Copies of this chain bind each other. A is one copy, B any other.
Amino acid sequence: MREQVKGRVYLVGAGPGDPELLTLRAARLLKEADTVVHDRLIHPAVLEHARPHARLIYVGKEGGGESVRQEDIHTVLIAQARLGRRVVRLKGGDPFVFGRGGEEALALEEAGIPYEVVPGLSAGIAVPASAAIPVTHRDVSGEVTFATAHRAGGAPDWAFLARAQTLVLFMAGDRLEEVVSALVSHGRAASTPAAVVEAGTWEHQRVVESTLGNIALEARRDAIGSPALLVVGEVVALRSRLPSLVARG
């Protein structure tokens, strides 16, 4: 009799971009993987941890086009695991921070596939850091809220988000005007320091720093594209006191 081969899926966060911000566990699992199922925003150097003969399956968006449907990703993961393969499902950032990792975990659980979750550096922390913005800072901000501008099932709670000491908004690049207008109409001062970081931690990272009232205009003037993250709060003003970090960003 053949031994029963048991496949397994690892839902792995790859971090925000910079390949050295991968965790040791993610690097090890990539080396051991038979199949790597990955998104768009994974640095090519991260994929180089995989073995030459590992099967790479791309499930990201084709330049502005449609994503692979979430259900189809579940089907791929389950089918690969049922073939007895060690599958790494590699996601930008952290699987549980706007990464739909919970949905994939539920699908694997329901299909009876063994799986694990390996957290990754979230862009929400690492990207502001690479732009010299500490998301919390003594006497400046004692909390930080992560939210996303793209949201299934209803608008964000703008009244709540307008009140966050530090607000980090994911996927904000293509709807800055709308976001700014919602925050200001819910009471956030237009004079609040704000920054947009495009491609944070990547070689081509760009930062636009301004006030909430002017950030959308200035980001448009600089043709800021996707992926971009918006940071709102007094912590943004710390950048000017950390010129060595700004120079490196």
Contacts and interface: CB of A to CB of B under 8 A. Distances in A.
A163 B115 CA distance: 33
A80 interface: no
Interface in A112-152: 114-117, 119-122, 125-126, 128-130, 134-140, 142-148, 151-152
A23 interface: yes
Contacts of A147: 142-143
Contacts of A146: 136, 143-145
Contacts of A108: 244
A216 B123 CA distance: 32
Interface stretch (A14-22, A61-69, A185-193, A221-229): A14-22
Count of this chain's copies in the oligomeric assembly? 2
Interface stretch (A32-40, A91-99, A205-213): A91-99
Nearest to A98: B136
B151 A142 contact: yes
Is chain A's interface secondary structure helix, strand, loop, or mixed overall? Answer: mixed
Interface of A: 15, 18-25, 27-28, 94-98, 100-103, 105-106, 108-109, 114-117, 119-122, 125-126, 128-130, 134-140, 142-148, 151-153, 156-157, 160-161, 163-165, 235, 238, 241-245, 248
A20 to B, nearest CB: 4
A157 B20 CA distance: 36
Contacts of A117: 129, 245
A241 B97 contact: no
Contact of A106 (B105, B121, B145, B241): B241
B144 A102 contact: no
Contact of A119 (B96, B129, B160, B244): B129
A243 B112 CA distance: 11
A23 B25 contact: no
A229 to B, nearest CB: 14
